[in-house]
A = this chain, B = another copy of it.
């Protein structure tokens, strides 16, 4: 029961690498988030784990929890960091329609740049500081363009949903191309032949449009979405 001072470790028992001195670069929320994003981009959500992040920072998983609370908390921080990458121009009342389109394009690019970020964003309404700035600036453009307040809010939220939804289906199939990577062209050809082989009696329409299914230009479809959205919005102002 007497608690003597702990003995020095015997010389044959190597002290664990980091135990002797404090970290050279102290752990911070920022460094954790940055490394987490790097891992996410490089290896994808499936390989992303607290232990993996800790390993990259040369520490144990438990240490991260003091800074970010939980994995979910870390994902929140990641989301806001990524949202913060997007830049929104100063409002130009004349060119608001093109400005809104450009904002949407930037969103799409940002999402596509970060692998699996769309999967993280799923049940996570961004409310961090960067998300607030984004909302503020987009609303500024819409209101400067003469869009009434309620419609501005509605269409802003709608735009977010649409871009997210579009990009979600778009990047979906990337998910770890399992070695025998079917290229985009191969995939298209596979879809076409699959559709063309369907029973004619039951699937007349699908068979006839099979070609158009195969060569779906994502960029073109996104522009179509933007046109539909902004034109409709402008007509309602």
Chain A residues with CB under 8 Å of chain B are: 118-119, 122-125, 132-133, 135-136, 139-140, 143, 149-150, 152-155, 157-158, 160-166, 168-169, 171-175, 198, 202-206, 208-209, 212-213, 216, 220-221, 224-225, 227-229, 231-233, 235
Given known contacts A136-B202, A205-B136, A232-B227, is B221 in contact with A157 (CB within 8 Å)?
Answer: yes
A-B contact pairs, 9 of them (CB 8 A): A118-B122, A123-B172, A125-B172, A132-B206, A136-B205, A149-B209, A149-B212, A227-B232, A228-B233
Q: How many copies does the complex hold?
A: 2
A195–B172 CA distance with the chains assembled, in angstroms: 33
Closest B residue to A137 by beta carbon equals B205
Residues B153 and A213 in contact, CB atoms below 8 Å apart: yes
In order of increasing CB-CB distance, the 6 nearest A-B pairs are: A165-B165, A228-B232, A123-B172, A153-B212, A139-B205, A161-B165
Contact residues in B for A157 (Cβ distance below 8 Å): 169, 216, 221
Residues B119 and A123 in contact, CB atoms below 8 Å apart: yes
Closest B residue to A208 by beta carbon equals B149
From B165, B172, B216, give the contact of A168 (CB < 8 A).
B165
Contact residues in B for A213 (Cβ distance below 8 Å): 153
Known: A152-B212, A164-B168, A231-B235. 15 other contacts (CB 8 A): A133-B202, A136-B203, A136-B205, A149-B209, A150-B212, A157-B216, A158-B225, A161-B165, A161-B169, A162-B166, A162-B225, A164-B165, A228-B233, A229-B232, A232-B232
Contact residues in B for A206 (Cβ distance below 8 Å): 132, 135-136, 139
Contact residues in B for A155 (Cβ distance below 8 Å): 224
Given known contacts A206-B136, A216-B153, is B158 in contact with A125 (CB within 8 Å)?
Answer: no
